[in-house]
Amino acid sequence: MIRKAARLEKIPPYLFMELRNKINKARAAGVDVISLAIGDPVEPTPAPIVEELARTARDPENHRYPTDEEKGMAALRQELCRWYARRYKATVDPEAETLVLIGSKEGCHHFALAMVNPGDTVLVTDPGYPGYKPSIWFAGAEPYAVPMTAENGFLPDLRGIPSDVARKASAFYLNYPNNPTGAVANRKFLAELVEFAKSYDIALCYDNPYIDVVFDGAEPLSILSIPGASDVAVELNSFSKWFNMTGWRLGMAMGNRTIIAAMSQVKSNTDSGVFNAIQYAGIKALRECGATIGDMLQVYARRRRKVVDTLNALGWKYTPPQGTFYLWVPTLGGKSSAEFAAELFEKAHIVVAPGSAYGRFGEGYVRFSLTVPDHRLDQAMERLRNALG
Q: Are 40 and 246 in contact (CB under 8 A)?
A: yes
> Residue 67: what pLDDT?
79
Q: Return the pLDDT at 24.
A: 80
pLDDT at 14: 66
Q: 196 to each of 136, 142, 189, 192, 350, how far by Cα in Å? A: 21, 20, 10, 6, 42
Which of 157, 149, 99 minimizes the C-alpha distance to 123? 157
pLDDT at 68: 76
Per-residue pLDDT tens digits of the chain, which is 389 residues long: 999 998 888 887 766 667 677 778 877 878 899 999 989 999 999 999 999 999 999 999 999 999 776 899 999 999 999 999 999 999 999 999 999 999 999 999 999 999 999 999 999 999 999 999 999 999 999 999 999 999 999 999 999 999 999 999 999 999 999 999 999 999 999 999 999 999 999 999 999 999 999 999 999 999 999 999 999 999 999 999 999 999 999 999 999 999 999 999 999 999 999 999 999 999 999 999 999 999 999 999 999 999 999 999 999 999 999 999 999 999 998 999 999 999 999 999 999 999 999 999 999 999 999 999 999 999 999 999 999 98
* pLDDT of 340: 95
What per-residue confidence (pLDDT) applies to 283? Answer: 98
Three-state DSSP class for residue 233: strand
Going from the C-alpha of 301 to that of each of 238, 252, 313, the distances in angstroms are 21, 27, 18
CA–CA distance, 304 with 235 (Å, rounded to integer)? 27
Q: What are phi and psi of 173, to 5 degrees?
A: -100, 130
| pLDDT for position 378 | 98
Query: Which ranges of the chain would DSSP assign to H, the alpha helix?
Result: 15-28, 47-57, 74-88, 104-115, 132-138, 163-168, 187-200, 239-243, 257-268, 276-288, 291-313, 337-348, 374-388
* Measured CA angle at 102 (ends 100, 103), to 5 deg: 95
Q: Is 39 helix (H, G, I), strand (E, B) or coil?
A: coil
Domains of the chain and CATH, by start: 6-44+291-388 (3.90.1150.10), 47-288 (3.40.640.10)
Q: Which of 322, 51, 366 is nearest to 180 (CA)?
A: 366
Specify the pLDDT at position 15: 63
Predicted confidence at residue 263, as pLDDT, reads 98
* Separation of alpha carbons 254 and 120, rounded Å: 24
What's the number of CA atoms in the CB half-sphere (13 Å) around residue 314? 20
